[in-house]
Protein backbone atom coordinates (compact mmCIF):
# COMPACT_ATOMS: atom_id res chain seq x y z
CA UNK A 1 0.00 0.00 0.00
CA UNK A 2 1.58 3.13 -1.27
CA UNK A 3 3.18 2.56 -4.65
CA UNK A 4 5.28 5.71 -4.74
CA UNK A 5 9.07 5.80 -4.56
CA UNK A 6 9.34 3.56 -1.47
CA UNK A 7 6.71 1.09 -2.69
CA UNK A 8 8.37 1.01 -6.11
CA UNK A 9 11.78 0.19 -4.61
CA UNK A 10 10.24 -2.46 -2.39
CA UNK A 11 8.56 -4.00 -5.44
CA UNK A 12 11.89 -4.05 -7.30
CA UNK A 13 13.53 -5.91 -4.44
CA UNK A 14 10.61 -8.31 -3.98
CA UNK A 15 10.70 -9.20 -7.69
CA UNK A 16 14.37 -10.14 -7.29
CA UNK A 17 13.14 -12.88 -4.94
CA UNK A 18 10.43 -13.99 -7.39
CA UNK A 19 7.70 -12.62 -5.14
CA UNK A 20 4.35 -11.72 -6.66
CA UNK A 21 3.75 -8.01 -6.19
CA UNK A 22 0.42 -6.23 -6.11
CA UNK A 23 0.54 -2.50 -5.67
CA UNK A 24 -2.13 -0.32 -4.08
CA UNK A 25 -2.07 3.37 -4.89
CA UNK A 26 -4.48 6.26 -4.72
CA UNK A 27 -5.12 6.10 -8.47
CA UNK A 28 -4.46 2.43 -9.19
CA UNK A 29 -1.61 3.46 -11.48
CA UNK A 30 2.11 2.90 -11.25
CA UNK A 31 5.04 1.06 -12.82
CA UNK A 32 3.38 -2.10 -14.09
CA UNK A 33 6.76 -3.67 -14.96
CA UNK A 34 7.24 -4.41 -11.27
CA UNK A 35 3.71 -5.31 -10.22
CA UNK A 36 1.45 -8.07 -11.44
CA UNK A 37 -1.50 -5.91 -10.48
CA UNK A 38 -1.96 -2.31 -9.34
CA UNK A 39 -5.29 -1.37 -7.81
CA UNK A 40 -6.73 1.88 -6.47
CA UNK A 41 -7.03 2.29 -2.71
CA UNK A 42 -10.80 1.89 -3.10
CA UNK A 43 -10.14 -1.81 -3.83
CA UNK A 44 -7.91 -2.38 -0.79
CA UNK A 45 -10.40 -4.68 0.94
CA UNK A 46 -10.62 -6.85 -2.17
CA UNK A 47 -6.88 -7.54 -2.30
CA UNK A 48 -5.98 -7.86 1.38
CA UNK A 49 -7.16 -11.46 1.60
CA UNK A 50 -4.65 -12.47 -1.11
CA UNK A 51 -1.54 -11.04 0.54
CA UNK A 52 1.09 -12.94 2.50
CA UNK A 53 2.76 -9.64 3.39
CA UNK A 54 1.06 -6.25 3.56
CA UNK A 55 3.58 -3.43 3.54
CA UNK A 56 2.34 0.07 4.37
CA UNK A 57 4.44 2.71 2.63
CA UNK A 58 1.79 5.33 1.89
CA UNK A 59 2.12 9.00 2.83
CA UNK A 60 0.38 10.45 5.86
CA UNK A 61 -2.66 12.44 4.76
CA UNK A 62 -6.17 12.99 6.11
CA UNK A 63 -7.33 10.10 3.92
CA UNK A 64 -4.71 7.64 5.16
CA UNK A 65 -5.16 8.12 8.91
CA UNK A 66 -5.92 4.66 10.38
CA UNK A 67 -5.96 3.24 6.87
CA UNK A 68 -5.37 -0.15 8.47
CA UNK A 69 -7.78 -0.92 11.28
CA UNK A 70 -9.86 -3.83 12.54
CA UNK A 71 -11.84 -4.28 9.27
CA UNK A 72 -8.66 -4.44 7.18
CA UNK A 73 -6.84 -6.75 9.60
CA UNK A 74 -9.89 -9.04 9.61
CA UNK A 75 -9.60 -9.40 5.83
CA UNK A 76 -5.99 -10.56 6.01
CA UNK A 77 -5.02 -14.24 6.02
CA UNK A 78 -4.22 -15.73 9.42
CA UNK A 79 -0.77 -16.51 7.97
CA UNK A 80 -0.19 -12.94 6.74
CA UNK A 81 2.20 -10.39 8.17
CA UNK A 82 1.83 -6.63 8.32
CA UNK A 83 4.81 -4.29 7.95
CA UNK A 84 4.53 -0.53 8.50
CA UNK A 85 7.41 1.63 7.26
CA UNK A 86 5.27 4.70 6.57
CA UNK A 87 3.85 6.60 9.54
CA UNK A 88 2.42 5.31 12.79
CA UNK A 89 -0.87 7.14 12.23
CA UNK A 90 -1.73 4.96 9.23
CA UNK A 91 -2.31 2.01 11.55
CA UNK A 92 -4.84 1.57 14.33
CA UNK A 93 -2.41 0.14 16.86
CA UNK A 94 -5.19 -1.03 19.21
CA UNK A 95 -6.69 -3.06 16.38
CA UNK A 96 -3.27 -4.49 15.56
CA UNK A 97 -2.71 -5.46 19.19
CA UNK A 98 -6.07 -7.26 19.27
CA UNK A 99 -5.36 -9.04 15.97
CA UNK A 100 -1.99 -10.25 17.23
CA UNK A 101 -3.31 -11.35 20.62
CA UNK A 102 -6.17 -13.24 18.97
CA UNK A 103 -3.82 -14.71 16.34
CA UNK A 104 -5.91 -13.18 13.54
CA UNK A 105 -2.67 -12.50 11.64
CA UNK A 106 0.69 -14.26 11.95
CA UNK A 107 2.76 -11.25 12.86
CA UNK A 108 3.76 -7.68 12.27
CA UNK A 109 6.79 -5.40 12.10
CA UNK A 110 6.56 -1.71 12.93
CA UNK A 111 9.33 0.71 12.07
CA UNK A 112 6.99 3.57 12.99
CA UNK A 113 4.49 4.02 15.80
CA UNK A 114 2.07 6.61 17.10
CA UNK A 115 3.36 8.19 19.24
CA UNK A 116 7.01 7.93 18.47
CA UNK A 117 8.91 6.82 20.40
CA UNK A 118 6.44 4.29 21.74
CA UNK A 119 6.05 4.73 25.52
CA UNK A 120 7.62 2.00 27.65
CA UNK A 121 4.24 1.08 29.15
CA UNK A 122 2.51 0.61 25.78
CA UNK A 123 1.01 -2.90 25.50
CA UNK A 124 2.44 -3.30 21.98
CA UNK A 125 5.83 -4.03 23.55
CA UNK A 126 4.39 -7.31 24.86
CA UNK A 127 2.35 -8.24 21.79
CA UNK A 128 3.05 -11.70 20.37
CA UNK A 129 4.84 -11.93 17.04
CA UNK A 130 5.57 -8.21 16.82
CA UNK A 131 8.92 -6.69 15.92
CA UNK A 132 9.36 -2.98 16.70
CA UNK A 133 12.31 -1.05 15.31
CA UNK A 134 13.19 2.60 16.05
CA UNK A 135 12.23 4.22 12.71
CA UNK A 136 15.39 3.00 11.04
CA UNK A 137 14.13 1.23 7.90
CA UNK A 138 15.71 3.83 5.61
CA UNK A 139 19.14 3.65 7.17
CA UNK A 140 21.90 2.04 5.17
CA UNK A 141 25.51 2.78 4.37
CA UNK A 142 24.24 4.69 1.30
CA UNK A 143 21.73 6.94 3.09
CA UNK A 144 23.89 9.97 3.83
CA UNK A 145 25.74 10.03 0.49
CA UNK A 146 22.36 9.87 -1.31
CA UNK A 147 20.89 12.60 0.92
CA UNK A 148 23.95 14.80 0.40
CA UNK A 149 23.79 14.39 -3.38
CA UNK A 150 20.07 15.18 -3.34
CA UNK A 151 20.55 18.30 -1.20
CA UNK A 152 23.42 19.61 -3.31
CA UNK A 153 21.47 19.05 -6.53
CA UNK A 154 18.43 20.87 -5.14
CA UNK A 155 20.55 23.77 -3.87
CA UNK A 156 22.23 24.09 -7.25
CA UNK A 157 18.84 24.15 -8.99
CA UNK A 158 17.51 26.70 -6.48
CA UNK A 159 20.40 29.12 -6.96
CA UNK A 160 20.27 28.72 -10.75
CA UNK A 161 16.51 29.33 -10.84
CA UNK A 162 15.79 25.91 -12.31
CA UNK A 163 12.82 23.70 -11.49
CA UNK A 164 13.04 21.74 -8.24
CA UNK A 165 12.01 18.14 -7.76
CA UNK A 166 10.78 16.34 -4.62
CA UNK A 167 8.49 19.24 -3.88
CA UNK A 168 5.57 18.77 -1.52
CA UNK A 169 2.20 18.99 -3.26
CA UNK A 170 0.20 20.92 -0.68
CA UNK A 171 -3.10 19.79 -2.21
CA UNK A 172 -2.15 16.10 -1.87
CA UNK A 173 -0.44 16.59 1.47
CA UNK A 174 2.88 14.99 0.56
The band of 166, judged by pLDDT with boundaries at 50, 70 and 90, is confident
Active-site residue, 116 included: yes
Q: Are 68 and 91 in contact (CB under 8 A)?
A: yes
Is 87 annotated as catalytic?
Answer: yes
Would you place residue 80 in the very low, low, confident or very high pLDDT band (cuts 50, 70, 90)? very high
51-76 residue pLDDT tens: 999 999 999 999 999 999 999 999 99
pLDDT at residue 140, rounded to an integer: 87
Percent of the chain with pLDDT over 90: 88
pLDDT at 18 over 90: yes
Which among 116, 157, 162, 172 is annotated as catalytic?
Answer: 116
What pLDDT was estimated at residue 137? 87
Q: How many other CB atoms sit within 10 Å of the CB of residue 85?
A: 21
Kindly provide the b/e burial profile for residues 34-47, where b requires at least 16 CB atoms within 10 angstroms of the residue's own CB: bbeebbebeebeeb
Amino acid sequence: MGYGSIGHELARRAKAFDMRVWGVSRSGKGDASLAEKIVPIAQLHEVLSHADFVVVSAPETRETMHLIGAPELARMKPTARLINVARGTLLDQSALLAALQQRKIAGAALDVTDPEPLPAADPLWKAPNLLITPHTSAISDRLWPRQTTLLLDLLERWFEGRNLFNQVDLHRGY
